[in-house]
Amino acid sequence: MTATLRHAGYVLGENPVTAFAFTLFFLFVLCAALGPALAPYDPLASDTAKALTGPSPAHWFGTDQLGRDIFSRIVVATRLDLGIAMTAVALAFGIGALAGLAAGYYGGWIDRIVGRAVDTIMAFPLFVLAMGIVAELGNSVANIVYATAIINLPIYARLARAEANVRRSAGFVDAARLCGNSEARIVFGQLLPNILPLMMVQVSLTLGFAILNAAGLSFIGLGVRPPTAEWGIMVAEGASFIVSGEWWVAFFPGVVLMAAVFCFNLMGDGLRDIVDPLRRT
Amino acid sequence: MTSDRPLLAVDGLRKLYPVGKHRIWGRGAAPSLLHAVDGVSFTIGRGETVGLVGESGCGKTTIVRLIARLLDASHGSICFDGLEIGKIPARHFGLAPPRAQIQMVFQDATDSLNPRFTAFRAIADPLLRLRRLSGTALRARVEEVARLTGLPPELLSRFPHQLSGGQKARVGIARAIAVEPRLLILDEPTSALDVSVQVVILRLLQDLKRQLDLSYLFVSHDLNVVRLLCNRILVMYLGHIVESGPADRVFAAPAHPYTQALLSAVPKPGFAGGRSTRIGLPGEPRSPIDPAPHICPLYGRCGRATEKCMVDMPALRAIAAGQFAACHYPITDPAAEPQPLAVNEPSAEDDYRDLALGQRGQNP
Amino acid sequence: MIGNSNTVPLLAVEDLGIEFRTRSGTVRAVDGIGFELCRGKTMALVGESGSGKSVTAYAIMGILDAAARITSGQIVFGGLALLQAGEKAIAEIRGRELAIIFQNPRTALNPIRPVGKQIADVLLRHGNVTAAQAPGRAIEMLAKVRIPDPERRARSYPFELSGGMCQRVMIAMALACAPQLLIADEPTTGLDITTQAVIMDLIAELAASQNMATLLITHDLGLASEYCDHIAVMHAGHIVETAPMEALFAAPHHPYTAKLIAATPGGAPSLDALVAIPGALPDLRRADLPPCRYSERCERAAPDCFDRPLRRRSVGDDRRVACHFPL
């Protein structure tokens, strides 16, 4: 464990971009964890007298059309957005990787079934599929999570399947059999650790997609309902004010959204470097 | 007397693979079968090193996997120390008691080590699964085995990509001997190593055999190494054992034409005359798919063949003390001229059939 | 201008040095090596992995990796200084006068082109054939390397052929324009013993019939003995000894050569007679490498070996040794 931490320190030290991404991620997690405690104002408190005031020392990011402090809303929304994204990705990764591993290792009818399921999902434009699922099941955070998880599942399944397929004929699999490992142990104990590094990169990319997905759904009204603070809704609400010059209502949530996706993408390589022992010298 | 019983007795072993496209309807004739191993019988005694040589397609890899119980045979029996292990299906063998007694050192140490496991974890794997060791007992045994194979203990925390070729080979050997096997299968253990490292590893294998009272099945394409390490050798061709006997005798006086050709192809350092004394095998190997059971596998390439070789499959017969060859006209005198022959090239049909069934040609 | 004399060497390498820039430092892969090869002769560059033999071959062909830098020396082929010649001049002779066959034949061939077409490509680029004549000549080349049923095989893809057949195709491609020098980089690694013999015999026969010089890169002393007149032994980027084959085995002059011969299973009567080579290859990234790169492993090393500059010396008939205290 300490070796891993030391190696993590080395990786972060070597690559400032990765270090920056991890710091940013840490800040986001802090925001999500502490949420309301960090917000200077109540995100739901409306004060129409102060509606649509620009950025000022009192309101760093300005106020929206109902006089709510945008900065506070953004901070509180972090918990929701990050929560949705991480839960969805955890689900997609968990189910997808397992299905893909089994399909790649055992082949046969497992492979065929998983393959057809994945093909079915991928036959749809993924965002449209998410829209359809949420529209059918109803607007709720849980449904957004399920929809996002489903549309991100195929990537993991295909990745895991391809990797398992390549490695199942590797010498160490036979060696593991000679050591008395059962097939299940080989799949989870020997193969899974090998495909994990590649999946790590995919996880970070998918986190970005998931956030964009949740925000996109909210943008078109199929996601979280107002007055809940969520980055996508805030951008949607602020969009109508750009033309009339109140740019800050949409701008700041948009920038934070962008920063989050950016941060996750940058983290991907760093994560892989930490997790993959082949990178250690 | 149990001490007279051979450690491993293989009898009539056959492994057949169906080839050809699946038909969803039209269940006409039975599918064609590729005879990877076609009736192989041999024994390995206690403390013996038996060499298994042959070229690609001869079936030695399949035999190795059958004996290591990674694969199930189609016919025949595998008897280990009196126990019929061939009857235990391969997928259940991991839990069977004899699992620890038969272990294997793989050809490519890099490929046979999990890239995500440290050397320690790799060596500990069989101890965890088969001996249920843990904690200090586990650590002690791993370090003991590492010492036996000449692996410095500080290397145990390294990953395979941080180790040299020779060190990886030692890890592979350490893992194989950790559970105190009786039979060690060595599948080309030094072919990926430089000459200087090879000497060290071969010496190590020799020492371990004495110290731990092991028997070896040594599979190699390098006849020079086989000659140095093995008591007895088995020569395989197209799924059959064509010759067997004490290593010295077979090398000095090969009885089977294939063995003779094989030996003449080995270049000798310092000797330039190999080409002039070369005994070649013209043509290509016969197809291993649905081979005619009454034709000698070498027929068509053999300079000593006659009509008899086409109608009567030769069985392994004693030539001299301990030496057996499956040939109607064995070379009892290496200087004798080959008999007049009617060499039939395998028909073009064999070739076409290979391509039609999607088989890669076995041709040199 | 390619000379035709039999006395002037066809290929002369002199004081060649090659470095590789890598993330972990500069690897001095080859340092001050030199040898000559005359028309129609065969020579082996023998060494273990990391000795620099393949790098030398690639340098001669001009196909070194982009990270490589030639730091010193000269390669003269048929009167042409290869290192100074322009890309155009090299491209003209490469494939026509100078040919190479590689280690893993199946990966060295284009997997999506029939082999007949690949041979025809070489002929069209370098030979004086028209597009109409090329396919026929390609089939002739396949027959020359004794591939059975050449008309049909010319339409095959590499994955349909066995390793030995792919190597024959490579030989056909290399010899299509009757080059003066063939470099064979471990051409039989991975092939069966009988296939190896057949392929090497084929190369030897074709080389003899065309009076073609052969440079064989190999780690196998047995192979080098059987097919080459001269052997150059390489260690850690140096050529430690060059000698005619029989003389080398009868009386090696360099300690490494002697150890290498003693470690080769082919010649030893028993396992106990084999001798391990002590030590390991020095790390070629070090800045403080001694002038003799074998000195740290050598039992005969004297203080001189670690600082006195090393020069190749002639010792007897057509032999050279790079050692201060040869055997």
Class of domain B8-17+33-230: alpha beta
What does each C-alpha distance from A6 to A277, B13, C51 come to in angstroms? 13, 54, 35
User: Rg of chain C over CA atoms, in angstroms?
Assistant: 20
Q: What percent of chain A has pLDDT over 90?
A: 27
Least CB–CB distance from A179: residue in B111, B115, B126: B126
pLDDT tens for each residue of B82-117: 899 988 898 888 888 899 999 999 988 888 999 989
Rounded to a whole number, what is the distance in angstroms from the first to the last CA of chain C?
41
Note whether C274 contacts B199, CB cutoff 8 Å. yes
Which residues have CB under 8 Å from A146's CB, separation 6+? Answer: A88, A91, A133, A137
Q: Quick one: pLDDT at residue B219?
A: 94
For residue A126 the two structure tokens come to 């993924």
Which chain B residues touch A176 with a CB distance below 8 Å? 114, 125
Rounded to whole angstroms, the Cα distance separating C270 from B270 reads 17
Average pLDDT over residues C21-30: 88
CATH number for the domain that contains residue A214? 1.10.3720.10
More confident residue, C241 or A44: C241
Least CB–CB distance from A180: residue in B108, B129, B176: B129
Which chain C residues touch B54 with a CB distance below 8 Å? none
Average pLDDT value over all residues in chain C: 89
Rounded to whole angstroms, the Cα distance separating B260 from B280 reads 9
Which chain C residues touch B200 with a CB distance below 8 Å? 276
pLDDT tens for each residue of B311-354: 888 888 888 888 999 998 888 765 555 544 444 444 433 443 34
Q: Which amino acid belongs to residue A225?
A: R
Helix (H, G, I), strand (E, B) or coil at C218: strand
Rounded to whole angstroms, the Cα distance separating B185 from C151 reads 44
Contacting chains of C (3 CB pairs or more, <8 Å) are B
Contacting chains of B (3 CB pairs or more, <8 Å) are A, C
**Which residues 130-169 in chain C show a CB within 8 A of chain B?**
148-149, 159-165
Question: B-side interface with A, Cβ within 8 Å?
Answer: 68, 70, 91, 94-95, 99-100, 103-104, 106-108, 111-116, 125-126, 129-130, 157, 159, 161-162, 172, 175-176
| N residues, chain A | 281
pLDDT tens for each residue of B234-246: 999 999 999 999 9
pLDDT tens for each residue of A142-185: 999 999 999 999 999 999 999 998 888 888 999 999 999 988 89
In chain B, domain spans: 8-17+33-230, 254-356
CA distance B201 to chain C (A): 10
Note whether B103 contacts A178, CB cutoff 8 Å. yes
Least CB–CB distance from B195: residue in C159, C198, C264: C264
Q: Which amino acid belongs to residue B345?
A: E
For residue B270 the two structure tokens come to 């310092």
Residues of the domain holding A6: 2-279
- Of the given ranges (A207-221, B159-173, C1-15, C31-45), which has the lowest mean pLDDT? C1-15
Instruction: Kindly indicate the confidence band of residue B3, based on its pLDDT and cuts at 50, 70 and 90.
Output: low
Rounded to whole angstroms, the Cα distance separating C216 from C233 reads 12
Q: Which residue of B has its CA nearest to C227?
A: B272
- Of the given ranges (A3-7, A95-99, C168-172), which has the lowest mean pLDDT? A3-7
Residue B67 has pLDDT above 90, yes or no: yes
- Phi (first) and psi of residue B237, to 5 degrees: -150, 125
Note whether B275 contacts C261, CB cutoff 8 Å. no
Residue A193 at interface with chain B, using a CB cutoff of 8 Å? yes
Average pLDDT over residues C215-241: 93
Note whether B271 contacts C194, CB cutoff 8 Å. no
Q: Which long-range contacts (CB under 8 A, 24 or more apart) does C79-87 make?
A: C79/C1, C79/C2, C79/C3, C79/C8, C80/C1, C80/C2
Residue C327 has pLDDT above 90, yes or no: no
Q: Quick one: pLDDT at residue B16?
A: 93
Q: Quick one: pLDDT at residue B362?
A: 40
Average pLDDT over residues A215-235: 84
Which chain B residues touch C264 with a CB distance below 8 Å? 195, 224, 269
- Number of domains chain A contains: 1
What does each C-alpha distance from C118 to B319, C109, C155 come to in angstroms? 50, 8, 10
| N residues, chain B | 364
Bond from prior residue into B293 cis (ω within 30 degrees of 0):
no
Average pLDDT over residues C102-114: 90
The bridge status of strand C68-77 relative to strand C11-22 is antiparallel
Q: Quick one: pLDDT at residue B22?
A: 61
Residue A167 at interface with chain B, using a CB cutoff of 8 Å? no
Rounded to a whole number, what is the distance in angstroms from the first to the last CA of chain B?
48
Q: Which residue of A has its CA nearest to B100?
A: A179
Residue A6 at interface with chain B, using a CB cutoff of 8 Å? no
Instruction: Kindly indicate the confidence band of residue A266, based on its pLDDT and cuts at 50, 70 and 90.
Output: confident
Instruction: Kindly indicate the confidence band of residue B359, based on its pLDDT and cuts at 50, 70 and 90.
Output: very low
CA distance B344 to chain A (A): 39
CA distance A281 to chain B (A): 7
Q: Quick one: pLDDT at residue C288?
A: 86
Average pLDDT over residues C279-307: 87
Q: Quick one: pLDDT at residue A14?
A: 75
**Which residues 63-82 in chain B show a CB within 8 A of chain C?**
none
Q: Which of B66, B103, B98 is nearest to B83 (CA)?
A: B98
pLDDT tens for each residue of B292-312: 889 999 988 888 888 888 888
Which chain B residues touch A180 with a CB distance below 8 Å? 94-95, 99-100, 126, 129-130
ipTM value: 0.85
Q: Which of B317, B319, B241 is nearest to B11 (CA)?
A: B241
Helix (H, G, I), strand (E, B) or coil at B311: helix
Q: Quick one: pLDDT at residue B350?
A: 41
Q: Which amino acid belongs to residue C147?
A: I
For residue A81 the two structure tokens come to 């957005």
Residue B355 at interface with chain C, using a CB cutoff of 8 Å? yes
Q: Which of B338, B82, B362 is nearest to B237 (CA)?
A: B362
Least CB–CB distance from A178: residue in B104, B108, B162: B104
User: How many of the other CB atoms lie within 10 Å of CB of A229?
Assistant: 24
Q: Quick one: pLDDT at residue B21?
A: 67
More confident residue, B51 or A208: B51
Average pLDDT over residues B249-259: 92
DSSP states along A137-179: H-S-HHHHHHHHHHHHHHHHHHHHHHHHHHHTTSHHHHHHHHT
Bond from prior residue into A227 cis (ω within 30 degrees of 0):
yes
Q: Which residue of A has its CA nearest to B103?
A: A178
Instruction: Give pTM, 2 decimals.
Output: 0.83
Residue A176 at interface with chain B, using a CB cutoff of 8 Å? yes
Average pLDDT value over all residues in chain A: 86
CA distance C123 to chain B (A): 25
Note whether A178 contacts B162, CB cutoff 8 Å. no
Q: What percent of chain A has pLDDT over 70?
A: 97
Instruction: Kindly indicate the confidence band of residue A76, based on its pLDDT and cuts at 50, 70 and 90.
Output: confident
**Contact (CB, 8 A) for C236 and C282:** yes
Residue A261 has pLDDT above 50, yes or no: yes
Residue A278 has pLDDT above 70, yes or no: no
CA angle, B241 then B246 then B251, to 5°? 85
Which chain B residues touch C165 with a CB distance below 8 Å? 361, 363-364
Domains, chain C, ordered by start: 11-97+179-321 (3.40.50.300)
